[in-house]
Structure 1
Amino acid sequence: MNDIRVSDATQGAAKSAGRKRLLQWLHQIVFVGPATFFFILIVLIPFFLGVYYSFTDWNGISRNINFIGIENYTHILTKDPDFRNAFWFTVRFTVVGILLTNLLGFVLAYVLTKPIRTRNMMRTIFFMPNMIGGLLLGFIWQFIFIRGFAAVGEATGIGLFNLPWLGDRATSFWGIVIVFVWQTAGYLMVIYISSLNNIPKDVLESAEIDGATRMQVIRHIILPLIMPAVTICLFLAISWAFKMFDLNLALTAGGPFKATESVALDIYNEAFTNNRLGLGTAKAVIFFIIVAIITTIQVRATKSREVEM
């Protein structure tokens, strides 16, 4: 009888464990399944199709798709000066944009965590540009550069406002940088504010009592403690700057004479303007690999400098 009872208890426990596993699977299917399905449908399948098309000469319209191997890649690396010029512009823009955006975002966060009466209103004002779409923002700033600055220059006589901000190679570069920083710094400011608010106040007070200057506090206490936020902000800024497309299209459309054409805009023009989708997707694959390598190195480098509070 005891053996029968033990056997029944074992079977009951096995059935209960089976029901729990079934419920867990059902929960995963119900809550994670739809997101996984759409991720595969919208991200993974187009990605692998793009990799396949990069080895073809498809124009994006014809039903005839011819496999040509690595011919697109060899053409890009050896016979495509437009891609090299676009990549060099994107690298310069990314370096300058990352530095200025993170510097301005941190400065705004540092100032707006002080006991200022209007700090909540100021936070909202600085964050608002991020809420405006890139194309709309680009057209707004195009009007400002062309009409607004010209009117201010005529009224004040200041030569800075009379520069051809979108018509010259050098000034158009800085024009795009100005709009990019103005749009994205507010978002990074919010991340830095959240991290700064988590720093223990007694640590900062102890440093001030010990005679540390403001710059010493920032360098030796604040920056090491907010390094997780720095990791996130650098990653976001790198991603935004490398993938910058809408601002580039709205402000200069890559001009003058492709001097400000980003890699994303070059890929778009190659695939949808020149109707060489195979070559365009090959450029996209190369660009994806480069950005993935850079962001991986950045995340590992900054995470190794993180400290625990």
Structure 2
Amino acid sequence: MNNQSKLENMELVPLNNQKKVKSQEAVNTNSQRKLKKAGLFALFVGPAFLAFTIIVLIPFFTGVYYAFTDWNGVTGNIHWVGFDNFKYLFTEDKQFQKSFWITTKYTVVAIILTNIVGFGLALLVTQMLKTRNMLRTVFFLPNLIGGLLLGFVWQFIFVKGFASVGQLTGISLFELPWLGDAKTAFWGIVIVSVWQGAGYIMLIYTAALQNVPQELIEAAKIDGANRWQILRHITMPMVAPAVTVCLFLTISWSFKIFDVNLSLTNGGPFKSTEMLALNIYTEAFVNNRYGLGEAKALIFFIVVAAITTIQVMYTKKKEVES
């Protein structure tokens, strides 16, 4: 019996060794797969992340540091001033507060009008029209023109074109000093911005409208629903994800408006249309108070990030409820 048990033990030892070898090979294979995946991930994502770090992250955190200094953007003399810049902005810098209010008012108006016009254009080009493809091109074309060029073109239209039309027709609307008065200059910026951005918003709404099941619309028509009821109770809930995206884009565009503001009015007359982005640019690069400009930019970033985050969370919640 002893010899037999010894033989059995001798047979079991190689089997155990084989199992250990196989399990070790499996571990090595899994490790190699993980390393391969990590290598491929680093190969594809690494260059993009490196570029993002150099172009975005490093300048952002550097700017946060400068927001607490009195650097003029030119010399190497940098002094830490703490929260003095922020105290100055909220207590003494009346133009910054005025620009903040103008930008907020402009943002509300531009968001509403751009989305209404964009959605209306989307409804138009999704109808069975022979010219719908041409209309899509025409409506989207202003978005391809740069903001600076667009501002100068519309500056000529407001100053020369409208004046000529007003003289010929006698219509008081065309005879207004569009860029020479604070109220009309504000609406001039709104008109140009809506004209430029509505085409892009139209494309997003068009894609959403084309995904609305026609069976639901046909069933609603059979049940006696009119166009308004179909739009309100079927179309709008179905395009809610597109509304979320369009609101996010228009909020971001409106708060960050710069090129149209610079080329159309340059903040005039008498800084009555100076938006926040232009105010920050003027403070940092014209007045050579870079630290103060960075403080404004940091406040601007926090406000825009907070508003867009709240907007996305709220509209996403509405999507689920609908």
Does the TM-score normalized on the shorter chain lie above 0.5?
Answer: yes
Amino acid at match of 1:192: Y
Bigger Cα Rg: 2
Aligned to 2:42: 29
Secondary structure at the aligned position of 1:257 is classed as coil
Aligned to 2:187: 174
Aligned to 1:38: 51
Using the TM superposition, give the Cα deviation of residue 41 of structure 1 relative to its aligned residue in structure 2, in angstroms.
0.7
Segments of 4+ moved more than 2 angstroms: none
Amino acid at match of 2:243: V
Alignment equivalent of 1:57, drawn from 70, 80, 87: 70
Secondary structure at the aligned position of 1:139 is classed as helix
Alignment equivalent of 1:129, drawn from 138, 142, 151: 142
Cα distance in 1 between the residues matched to 2:320 and 2:199: 25
Q: Deviations over 1:103-154 (max 9, x none)?
A: 0000110111111001011001100110111001111111111111111111
Contact 1:235 1:295 in 2 (8 A): yes
Alignment equivalent of 1:268, drawn from 269, 281, 288: 281
Amino acid at match of 2:216: V
Aligned to 2:21: 8
User: What's the Cα RMSD here?
Assistant: 1.0
Amino acid at match of 2:242: A
Contact 1:58 1:65 in 2 (8 A): yes
Q: TM-score, normalised by structure 2?
A: 0.94
Q: Report 1:143-222 matches (<5 A).
A: 143-222=156-235
Cα distance in 1 between the residues matched to 2:321 and 2:124: 24
Using the TM superposition, give the Cα deviation of residue 220 of structure 1 relative to its aligned residue in structure 2, in angstroms.
1.2
2:247 corresponds to 1:245 = no
Using the TM superposition, give the Cα deviation of residue 308 of structure 1 relative to its aligned residue in structure 2, in angstroms.
9.2
Aligned residues: 309
Using the TM superposition, give the Cα deviation of residue 155 of structure 1 relative to its aligned residue in structure 2, in angstroms.
1.5
Using the TM superposition, give the Cα deviation of residue 195 of structure 1 relative to its aligned residue in structure 2, in angstroms.
0.5
Residue ranges of structure 1 left out of the alignment (5+ in a row):
none
Using the TM superposition, give the Cα deviation of residue 307 of structure 1 relative to its aligned residue in structure 2, in angstroms.
4.3
Cα distance in 2 between the residues matched to 1:68 and 1:108: 51
Q: Deviations over 1:158-196 (max 9, x none)?
A: 111111111100100000000000000000000000001
Quote the sequence identity (%).
Answer: 58
Residue ranges of structure 2 left out of the alignment (5+ in a row):
1-13
Using the TM superposition, give the Cα deviation of residue 66 of structure 1 relative to its aligned residue in structure 2, in angstroms.
0.2
Aligned to 1:277: 290
Amino acid at match of 1:153: G
Cα distance in 1 between the residues matched to 2:133 and 2:192: 23
Using the TM superposition, give the Cα deviation of residue 156 of structure 1 relative to its aligned residue in structure 2, in angstroms.
1.4
Amino acid at match of 1:135: L
2:126 corresponds to 1:113 = yes
2:83 corresponds to 1:70 = yes
Amino acid at match of 1:255: G
Alignment equivalent of 2:33, drawn from 20, 26, 29: 20
Alignment equivalent of 1:292, drawn from 291, 300, 305: 305
Secondary structure at the aligned position of 1:304 is classed as helix
